[in-house]
């Protein structure tokens, strides 16, 4: 970001020399973030495309494997992320209006909600590990080896097809979780800076731009939750 | 053009809509809608997800109040995503057993 090298001497000095005014600088930063997010759309999009193709090829196995995911944990995490998007939006609001205490408070709540999401995700991954559902041989001595009675696979679906679902599940949720971890680190930095009074109504582009990133990660989960957790529930199978 | 500050009320209304959308998604997932047409459940789930994502982009991410250039960039992202999906899937669909279950 253009502003990163600026010393914290208040709003006027926050203007980098290659911009005419704060408004132009803010707009440029925001647009730069959007270009980055478009790139994010493309590479998450490639995974969604892989999901679509393999789900079309192996519908029965995907429904059975999806029904084995923990819908309660997935739904709770969806709510956690939506609340965290609200608190992030409010943190931006209090940066814009210059209320330092509430800005720090809402950034902190957002960070804690991010950690909550990651904790719940870790519990889910742990369950998959115990059930031998980590695909391939990613973990030595723990190859993919599902208990097929739990899955009630129809005859046309093979174990390999179920494994493909878990490859895609771990690739998509893993990449999403990586984004969450980066987001939490960004929030920790913002809290430190906000605490020291770095962000004012004149200069708060880092908060605004980080908000864009955080909301984007929320949007990815808005699609992941129904596609991964809910796709086969109406068949009445699973549990 | 100075920065537009979205009111807190707007944020809370959008938050409420997102929560309702999440509840609807879960409820709808347990209804068998596939007797309307094959894949109706997925179509409904994706429709709700697209509406939720649009609300987040327009209000939480302030695009509704942003410059034309921001709109163009967002639209370009969606357009290129559509190209990737349409071209890849049309390729699969024009091959024997491309997108159909084996056997």
Between the CA of residue B86 and those of A46, A146, B77, B82, what are the distances in Å?
A: 12, 34, 14, 6
The torsion defined by the Cα of A103, A109, A112 and A114, in degrees rounded to 10, comes to -80
- pLDDT tens string A74-124: 999 999 999 999 999 999 999 999 999 999 999 999 999 999 999 999 999
Q: Does B5 lie in the same domain as B44?
A: yes
Which of chain B's residues have a Cβ under 8 Å away from the Cβ of A30?
A: 66, 70
Q: Does B80 lie in the same domain as B53?
A: no
Q: Does B15 lie in the same domain as B39?
A: yes
A9 or A40, greater pLDDT: A40
In the 3-class helix/strand/coil scheme, how is A21-62 assigned residue by residue? CHHHHHHHHHHHHHHHHHHHHHHHHHHHHHHHHHHHHCHHHH
Amino acid A8: pLDDT = 46
Give how far the C-alpha of residue B42 lies from the chain's centroid of Cα atoms, to the nearest Å.
Answer: 12
Q: Does B77 lie in the same domain as B40?
A: no
Q: Does B73 lie in the same domain as B58?
A: no
Q: Does B75 lie in the same domain as B43?
A: no
Please determine, for residue A218, whether its predicted confidence score (pLDDT) is greater than 50. Answer: yes
Amino acid A154: pLDDT = 84
Which of chain A's residues have a Cβ under 8 Å away from the Cβ of B48?
A: 226
Q: Does B51 lie in the same domain as B74?
A: no
Query: How many residue pairs bridge chain A and chain B with CB atoms within 8 Å of each other?
Result: 137
pLDDT tens across the length of chain B (103 residues)? 467 899 999 999 999 999 999 999 999 999 998 888 888 999 999 999 999 999 999 999 999 999 999 999 999 999 999 999 999 999 999 988 788 876 6
- pLDDT tens string A14-44: 888 899 988 889 899 999 999 999 999 999 9
Please tell me the distance from the alpha carbon of residue A236 to that of residue A238, in angstroms, as a whole number: 7
What's the rounded mean pLDDT across residues A207-224? 97
Which of chain A's residues have a Cβ under 8 Å away from the Cβ of B29?
A: 226, 230-231, 233-234
Amino acid A141: pLDDT = 83
Report all structural domains of chain A as residue ranges with CATH numbers, in order of start: 22-57+71-132+166-227 (1.20.120.80)
Contact A57, B100 (CB under 8 A): yes
Q: Does B47 lie in the same domain as B88?
A: no
**Overall number of domains in chain B:** 2
3-state secondary structure of A93: helix
Cβ pair B29:A233 closer than 8 A: yes
Contact B75, B86 (CB under 8 A): no
| Domain of B36, in residue numbers | 1-66
Cβ pair A222:B11 closer than 8 A: no
Q: Does B49 lie in the same domain as B78?
A: no
Please tell me the distance from the alpha carbon of residue A82 to that of residue A78, in angstroms, as a whole number: 6
In B30-67, which ranges are continuous DSSP H helix? 40-55
Between the CA of residue B75 and those of A41, A47, A187, A219, B79, what are the distances in Å?
A: 11, 20, 28, 16, 6
ipTM of the assembly?
0.94
Grade residue A236 by pLDDT with cuts at 50, 70 and 90.
Answer: low
Amino acid A23: pLDDT = 86
Q: Does B74 lie in the same domain as B57?
A: no
Q: Does B74 lie in the same domain as B62?
A: no
Grade residue A238 by pLDDT with cuts at 50, 70 and 90.
Answer: very low
Please tell me the distance from the alpha carbon of residue A87 to that of residue A95, in angstroms, as a whole number: 12
Contact A233, B44 (CB under 8 A): no
Please determine, for residue A2, whether its predicted confidence score (pLDDT) is greater than 60. Answer: no
Task: Look up the pTM and report it.
Answer: 0.91
The secondary structure of residue A194, as a DSSP letter, is H
What's the rounded mean pLDDT across residues A3-11? 48
Q: Does B60 lie in the same domain as B18?
A: yes
Of B1, B31, B73, the CB nearest to A23: B1
Please determine, for residue A140, whether its predicted confidence score (pLDDT) is greater than 90. Answer: no
Please determine, for residue A155, whether its predicted confidence score (pLDDT) is greater than 90. Answer: no
- pLDDT tens string A158-213: 899 999 999 999 999 999 999 999 999 999 999 999 999 999 998 999 999 999 99
The torsion defined by the Cα of A192, A197, A199 and A201, in degrees rounded to 10, comes to 150
Give how far the C-alpha of residue B100 lies from the chain's centroid of Cα atoms, to the nearest Å.
Answer: 25
3-state secondary structure of A9: coil
């Amino acid at each position: 970001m253009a502003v990163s090298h600026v010393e914290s001497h208040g709003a006027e000095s926050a203007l980098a020399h290659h911009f005419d005014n704060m408004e132009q600088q803010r707009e440029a930063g925001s647009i730069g973030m959007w270009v980055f997010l478009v790139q994010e759309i493309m590479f998450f999009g490639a995974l969604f495309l892989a999901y679509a193709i393999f789900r079309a090829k192996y519908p029965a196995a995907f429904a059975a494997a999806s029904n084995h995911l923990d819908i309660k944990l997935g739904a709770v995490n969806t709510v956690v992320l939506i609340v965290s998007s609200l608190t992030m939006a409010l943190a931006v609001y209090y940066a814009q209006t210059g209320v330092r205490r509430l800005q720090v408070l809402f950034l902190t709540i957002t960070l804690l909600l991010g950690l909550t999401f990651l904790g719940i995700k870790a519990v889910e991954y742990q369950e998959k590990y115990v059930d031998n559902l980590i695909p391939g041989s990613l973990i030595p001595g723990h190859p993919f080896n599902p208990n097929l009675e739990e899955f009630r696979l129809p005859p046309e679906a093979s174990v390999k097809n179920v494994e493909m679902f878990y490859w895609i599940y771990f690739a998509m949720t893993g990449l999403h979780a990586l984004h969450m971890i980066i987001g939490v680190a960004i929030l920790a930095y913002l809290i430190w800076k906000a605490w020291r009074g770095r962000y004012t109504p004149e200069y708060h582009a880092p908060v605004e731009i980080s908000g864009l990133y955080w909301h984007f990660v929320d949007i990815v989960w808005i699609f992941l939750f129904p596609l991964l957790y809910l796709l086969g529930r109406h068949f009445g199978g699973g549990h | 053009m100075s920065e537009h500050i979205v009111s807190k009320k707007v944020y809370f209304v959008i938050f409420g809509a997102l929560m309702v959308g999440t509840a609807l998604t879960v409820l709808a997932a347990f209804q068998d809608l596939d007797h309307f047409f094959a894949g109706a459940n997925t179509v409904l789930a994706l429709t709700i997800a697209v509406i939720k994502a649009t609300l987040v982009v327009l209000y939480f991410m302030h695009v509704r109040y942003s410059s034309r250039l921001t709109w163009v960039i967002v639209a370009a992202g969606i357009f290129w995503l559509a190209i990737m999906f349409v071209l890849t899937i049309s390729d699969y669909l024009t091959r024997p057993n491309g997108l159909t279950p084996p056997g």
